Structure 1
Amino acid sequence: MNQPRASLDRLDVVDILRGFALMALFLVHIIESYELFWATEKPGIISETVFALFMGKSFSLLALCFGFSFFILMDRAAARGVDFSARFAWRLLILFGIGFLHSLIYRGDIIQTLAALGFVLLLVNRVRSNRLLLAAACFCFAGPSLIVQLVAAASGAAWANGVALSSVDPGMPIYLSGDLWQVLRVNLWQGQQSKYWFFVEYGRLVQILGLYLLGLVLGRTRFFEDLARSRGWRRVALPLAAGGAVLMFLLREPLRLAFATLGYGAAAERACWALINMWLDLAGTAFWALLVIALYDGRARWLVQPLAAPGRLTLTFYILQSAVFVPLFYGYGLGLYDDWNAATRLSVGLAAAALQIGAAHWWLARFRYGPIEWVWRVLTYRSLDIPFRRNAPSA
């Protein structure tokens, strides 16, 4: 039976957003040599441009899509008269396990964090008021944890004025010169600590929760299902988001310097800088989301349509990217982190992104799911009766 056109379009535009976020995040990873850039940092116009455009924004778009995907699963199950809550919790546990295995290769894995925070969605889904959820999302976007850190540090609180725990990184020397076994061992726990402290100290956890809530509300209000309904306000919101992102980018350094003159100390300055950058990332996220949607909803759809295919294979490609490029950059592999300059890394990243887009279209012409997506689905439903090939009958 054919699906309603609105349903197809809704899923298509979300796949495109997810595919855009995946490719943008991949370019960030390539430019930062899968984190090794920060060990021998060499700022330049290429790296600074890619970071300014996509760092923090691509990650946020994936979190937004995650919140929407939760709604889709719960809504479809409810339409069949099924409560999907328990199975979604099981699905999150499986995803957490996949993320754990991936984090052994690349400690910058975000799958574990997204899966762990996904349990909050099961709780907030019981709140029926969209206005209340939006208010909670806005509260998260205000950066409450960073504001608390800033005020506490400025007030002289000892706990807030210590050294940033995210700056203590026992993993980096291993990534630069250790063997594969040492990398796997340090990523089991020690190497992960700085990442999770970064999420806490820089407000990322609260930001993700806000994006989850926003994605849930977008699903409930059928935003992606009927884009025509939002064209009016989106035409206004797009230039506002672009202007806000540019303004925040231009003002963040003057604001940092102005705050530093107040003499509240390094910890307060760090919290202030993190707060400014979080708002910049949110403005950039809004801009990219609105721009991609505008292109999809207009005559330029052909520009973004190719991203739908990799958007349906996000989990497989995200892990495959690490499996291929981490050994290229890390010491136990080819150690190219200090051999390739930014221009070379960008060229390789763009070529690899194009290759992934082509491979995604080839794969989906023959298979229904990516291999990891299929395994995730099989484990979720605890059944092998899920077709993998295109010519296989639907279960």
Structure 2
Amino acid sequence: MDALRGFALLGILVVNIAFLASGYRMAGQAEPAFDGPLDWGARWTVTLLAENKFYLLFSFLFGYSFTLQLDSAARQGRRFVPMFLRRLGGLLLLGLAHAVLLFPGDILTTYAAAGLALLVLRRITPRAAVLLAVGLTALLALAFAALAALTAAGLDLTHTVADTAAEAARSDAALSGGIWQIVAEHVRKLSLILLLRVFFQGPAVLAACLIGLAVGKLGVLRDLSAHRAALRRLQWTGFTVGLSGSLFYTASAWNGTVHKFWGEAVDLLTAPLLAAAYAATFLRLLPYVPRVARALAAPGRMALSNYLAQSLICALIFTGYGLALVDRVSPPLEVLIACGVFVCQVLYSHWWLKRHRYGPVEWWLRYLTYWRRPAPKAGRHAAPDTGRATRRPGPTT
């Protein structure tokens, strides 16, 4: 699970860096300064293979880890509800600080809200959890289809996503400025995307969390060898239906507001399948590439620290906090930078975990969760920050 989380962390960075690097991208437009074949090739590739897929994978892992924490609290005789509420409060504080200071596209606040829903639904059966997730996804897809129909009928909905070149230019100017200009711009963007977060991304995150909860309750991932047929079916379905839907979404993403809404509707139904295919393929291949597993497990164990560090590094590169290169870096170079940053995070995570049991932010969140100081150094069986008492050796479990 640590290695899978590290894999998802790379995908999230490859997607997020475009939004951190450009006011135009945040406004839903292509950067006008980069219009060559390589630029469009990078945009299409990232949109097709990564956008809206990896945050679902992370959400699935959030729901799965929730079941591990429930089991751990039961084994240790701890009161789970107050402990988990403290954890969610910590996520909310981190998310708010992250959104205001570094990246208004933060997802930690959404996880805090989804975690509260999981807490309420913690006794739900796996079957009911899957049905609720499917229902939420279907309702979201219908909502985007309705938006597409209303827009096609002449109702102007573009102001809700600030989809204009003037908005992008204003954002670029602010992000290139001083600290207070950057913070003010982030706060302004938060007000623009709040509706999208509450009514659209929030339910999508919760749906993926519910699938993770169902898988955790069923114990499917404890013995992958017993579920090879199911993993193969996920691959076949995900890479056919999922990729087809993603291709439609990619073609729609750069073709006007009406087409974008239709693309979102289709992608909501098919992106979870492609994300599942990625996970199934990764889990099936992992035992055959132990070095890759070990490399990815370390950043996965301190994923929260690395997620926040990614935004900090990108802010230092693209905003007035540092080099102020906003909208001066081409899409292909953004992808290369993302890969370079992740390689550095892999090396740093391995170095850090040789000396510490948890990542720095994980240490703080664990302290807040359990209301006691975590063990300062990693032992042979040190646990990742999931609330488990022990951790099995080996990267594939």
Q: TM-score range by the shorter chain?
A: 0.7 to 0.9
Give the corresponding residue for 1:193.
191
Find 1:167's aligned residue among 156, 162, 168.
162
Displacement of 1:174: 5.0
TM-score, length basis structure 2: 0.83
Q: Match for 2:195: what amino acid? A: W
- Contact 1:137/1:213 (<8 A) preserved: yes
- Contact 1:37/1:337 (<8 A) preserved: no
- Contact 1:153/1:268 (<8 A) preserved: yes
Give the corresponding residue for 1:368.
357
1:133 corresponds to 2:160: no
Give the corresponding residue for 1:277.
267
1:352 corresponds to 2:341: yes
Instruction: Identify if the C-alpha distance between structure 1 residues 47 and 293 changes in structure 2 by more than 3 Å, giving closer, same or farther.
Output: same
Q: Match for 1:387: what amino acid? A: A
TM-score, length basis structure 1: 0.83
Instruction: Identify if the C-alpha distance between structure 1 residues 26 and 255 changes in structure 2 by more than 3 Å, giving closer, same or farther.
Output: closer
Displacement of 1:365: 1.3
Q: How many residues align?
A: 369
Q: Which moved more, 1:224-233 or 1:74-83?
A: 74-83
Find 2:217's aligned residue among 202, 214, 220.
220
Find 1:326's aligned residue among 315, 320, 339.
315
**Could you say what the CA RMSD is over the residues aligned between the two structures, in angstroms?**
3.1
Displacement of 1:62: 0.9
- Contact 2:176/2:326 (<8 A) preserved: no
- Contact 1:74/1:83 (<8 A) preserved: no
- Contact 1:295/1:304 (<8 A) preserved: no
Measured against aligned partners, the alpha-carbon deviations of 1:352-380 in whole angstroms (never above 9, x if no partner) come to: 21111111111111110001110111122
Measured against aligned partners, the alpha-carbon deviations of 1:52-75 in whole angstroms (never above 9, x if no partner) come to: 211111111111111111111111
- Contact 1:153/1:161 (<8 A) preserved: no
Instruction: Identify if the C-alpha distance between structure 1 residues 159 and 383 changes in structure 2 by more than 3 Å, giving closer, same or farther.
Output: farther
Displacement of 1:269: 5.1
Instruction: Identify if the C-alpha distance between structure 1 residues 172 and 281 changes in structure 2 by more than 3 Å, giving closer, same or farther.
Output: farther
1:84 corresponds to 2:89: no
Find 1:238's aligned residue among 235, 238, 243.
235
Give the corresponding residue for 1:54.
50
CA distance in structure 2 between the aligned counterparts of 1:290 and 1:391, rounded to whole angstroms = 30
CA distance in structure 1 between the aligned counterparts of 2:257 and 2:23, rounded to whole angstroms = 25
Measured against aligned partners, the alpha-carbon deviations of 1:68-106 in whole angstroms (never above 9, x if no partner) come to: 111111111112233301210111011100111111222
- Contact 1:252/1:276 (<8 A) preserved: yes
CA distance in structure 1 between the aligned counterparts of 2:55 and 2:129, rounded to whole angstroms = 21
CA distance in structure 2 between the aligned counterparts of 1:247 and 1:52, rounded to whole angstroms = 9
Q: Which moved more, 1:28-37 or 1:91-100?
A: 28-37
CA distance in structure 2 between the aligned counterparts of 1:252 and 1:199, rounded to whole angstroms = 19
Q: Match for 2:16: what amino acid? A: H
Partner of 1:16, secondary structure, is helix
CA distance in structure 2 between the aligned counterparts of 1:106 and 1:198, rounded to whole angstroms = 16
1:93 corresponds to 2:82: no
Partner of 1:194, secondary structure, is helix
Give the corresponding residue for 2:376.
388
Structure with higher RCO (Cα < 8 A, 6+ apart): 2
CA distance in structure 2 between the aligned counterparts of 1:253 and 1:57, rounded to whole angstroms = 13
Partner of 1:373, secondary structure, is helix
Instruction: Identify if the C-alpha distance between structure 1 residues 154 and 36 changes in structure 2 by more than 3 Å, giving closer, same or farther.
Output: closer
- Contact 2:299/2:349 (<8 A) preserved: yes
Q: Match for 1:362: what amino acid? A: W
Measured against aligned partners, the alpha-carbon deviations of 1:93-123 in whole angstroms (never above 9, x if no partner) come to: 1110011111122212111111122100011
- Contact 1:15/1:311 (<8 A) preserved: yes
CA distance in structure 2 between the aligned counterparts of 1:212 and 1:242, rounded to whole angstroms = 22
Unaligned runs of 5+ in 1: 1-13, 261-265
Displacement of 1:159: 12
Displacement of 1:200: 4.5
Displacement of 1:153: 6.8
Give the corresponding residue for 1:7.
none
Measured against aligned partners, the alpha-carbon deviations of 1:121-170 in whole angstroms (never above 9, x if no partner) come to: 0111122x22111111111222x034145347747999976444122669
Displacement of 1:190: 2.1
Find 1:120's aligned residue among 117, 123, 142.
117
- Contact 1:179/1:331 (<8 A) preserved: yes
Q: Match for 1:307: what amino acid? A: L
- Contact 2:175/2:185 (<8 A) preserved: no
Instruction: Identify if the C-alpha distance between structure 1 residues 152 and 87 changes in structure 2 by more than 3 Å, giving closer, same or farther.
Output: same
Partner of 2:288, secondary structure, is coil
- Contact 1:30/1:349 (<8 A) preserved: yes
CA distance in structure 2 between the aligned counterparts of 1:200 and 1:390, rounded to whole angstroms = 38
Instruction: Identify if the C-alpha distance between structure 1 residues 130 and 37 changes in structure 2 by more than 3 Å, giving closer, same or farther.
Output: same
Give the corresponding residue for 1:16.
3
Instruction: Identify if the C-alpha distance between structure 1 residues 167 and 146 changes in structure 2 by more than 3 Å, giving closer, same or farther.
Output: farther
Q: Which moved more, 1:25-34 or 1:316-325?
A: 25-34
Instruction: Identify if the C-alpha distance between structure 1 residues 252 and 109 changes in structure 2 by more than 3 Å, giving closer, same or farther.
Output: closer
Displacement of 1:195: 2.8
Unaligned runs of 5+ in 2: 383-388, 390-397
- Contact 2:6/2:297 (<8 A) preserved: yes
- Contact 2:357/2:379 (<8 A) preserved: no
Give the corresponding residue for 1:310.
299
